[in-house]
Amino acid sequence: MSQISIAQLFEDKKEKLKLSWVSGYEGNNKLLTDDSVLHNDKEAIGYLNFIQPDWIQVLNSDGINYLNRLDPHTLEKKINQLIQSNMVCIIIADNAEAPKSILALSNDANIPLLRSPYPSSEIIWVIRTYLSSVLAPSCILHGVLLDVLGMGVLITGESGVGKSELALELISRGHGLVADDIVELRRIAPETLEGRCPPMLRDYLEVRGLGILNIRTIFGETAVRRRKNMKLIVHLQNGVSGDQVALERLPLSNLNQNIMNVDIRKVIIPVAAGRNLAVLVEAAVRNYVLQLRGIDSTKDFIERQEREMDNSTETKN
């Protein structure tokens, strides 16, 4: 489960938004989790809202003026609504002075109260983008994630099939390593999966017989990537086993693998002695790029064959 504390949010965006802590520091450990944000009607962050309060409320000058105009009874009712909403933080925009009612709310309910000189729209935009990345749905896959010709390619297969050796060959051909063995995936957009490497394994590639190699040290800075959007899965499969459909010589339909409700194109490459897998992976990437542009070699070939058959039939007649 992905989560972020208000203290961590403050540290990460303190310089970007010039945040200062006004009150309610005792609530610095309040958490926002992906489960609470995704499975709730509340938005992660928004303007002051009493009807459907967001997890993080941004209070600008208009909101402050509205609170100051309320009579004491109505103001108390509104403040109680905010307390019962279980919000985790309040941010005051435009370096405005916090109303006494909001200060009291922060101190009594231990709700962090922050201030920024930036306008509310800027604060919401920055933090919403930040939270969408930090709290994105995530999973872990086994394989090697590479940047091949600018495209994120995940190499999968059984243990010992040669994933790391193939990755080393591709790196030596100028491509980049993102993660080996453990690949952390985050769904940062409805149709986008971003792959990263756990900090402990960053820059390292394990190759049987050679041990653990530091790719950054051996090949230089350009041989590694911090993150990459995954667009293609290349599955290495022993040629003597596996699904005959998957090993079809002329596949008429594309294979996809669904990961966190995102369909990722999948290519299965049989492994056999004498096959240049690095060249095959590069060809698979180039072919997929062409397909994205509307050029499908298999369909073009079938259409050409059908035209020749039609011409032959007409000639005979």
Taking residues 113-139, report their average pLDDT: 92
Exposed / middle / buried, residue 2 (Cβ in 10 Å: 0-12, 13-18, 19+): middle
Strand 192-196 to 176-189 pairing: antiparallel
76-95 pLDDT tens trace? 898 888 888 888 999 999 99
Confidence of residue 250 (pLDDT cuts 50, 70, 90): low
142 an active-site residue? Answer: yes
What distance in Å separates the CA atoms of residue 179 and residue 205, rounded to the nearest whole number? 8
Residue 245 has pLDDT above 50, yes or no: no
Which residues neighbour 178 within 8 Å (Cβ) at sequence distance 6 or greater? Answer: 145, 146, 147, 152, 195, 196, 197, 224, 225, 226, 227, 228
Strand partners, 205: 213
Hey, which CATH number is domain 138-302, 3.40.50.620, 3.40.718.10, 1.10.510.10, 3.40.50.300? 3.40.50.300
- From 100, 142, 208, 275, the catalytic residue: 142
273 vs 213 pLDDT, higher one: 213
Taking residues 296-312, report their average pLDDT: 84
Inter-residue contact 90 to 102 (CB < 8 Å): yes
193 vs 310 pLDDT, higher one: 193
CATH architecture group of domain 3-134: 3-Layer(aba) Sandwich (3.40)
- From 39, 69, 249, 293, the catalytic residue: 249
181 an active-site residue? Answer: yes
What distance in Å separates the CA atoms of residue 185 and residue 233, rounded to the nearest whole number? 13
Residue 25 falls in which region: left (phi positive, over 0), alpha (psi -120 to 50) or beta:
alpha
**Three-state secondary-structure class, residue 20:** strand
- From 94, 181, 203, 296, the catalytic residue: 181
pLDDT at residue 244, as a whole number:
44
Confidence of residue 241 (pLDDT cuts 50, 70, 90): low
Taking residues 48-73, report their average pLDDT: 90
pLDDT at residue 228, as a whole number:
96
pLDDT at residue 286, as a whole number:
95
Beta carbons within 10 angstroms of residue 60's beta carbon: 20
152-194 pLDDT tens trace? 999 999 988 999 999 999 999 999 999 999 999 999 888 999 9
pLDDT at residue 224, as a whole number:
96
Exposed / middle / buried, residue 36 (Cβ in 10 Å: 0-12, 13-18, 19+): middle
- Site of tokens 């989560």: 3
pLDDT at residue 298, as a whole number:
81
Element (H, E) at 45: strand 45-47
Confidence of residue 9 (pLDDT cuts 50, 70, 90): very high
275 an active-site residue? Answer: no
Residue 1 has pLDDT above 70, yes or no: no
Domain ranges of the chain: 3-134, 138-302
**Three-state secondary-structure class, residue 128:** helix
Taking residues 10-30, report their average pLDDT: 93
Q: What's the chain's length in residues?
A: 317
Chain center to CA of 122: 22
What distance in Å separates the CA atoms of residue 177 and residue 225, rounded to the nearest whole number? 6
- From 163, 175, 231, 235, the catalytic residue: 163
Confidence of residue 311 (pLDDT cuts 50, 70, 90): confident
pLDDT at residue 137, as a whole number:
85
If you count DSSP H runs as helices and E runs as strands, how many of each does the chain have, helices first? 10, 16
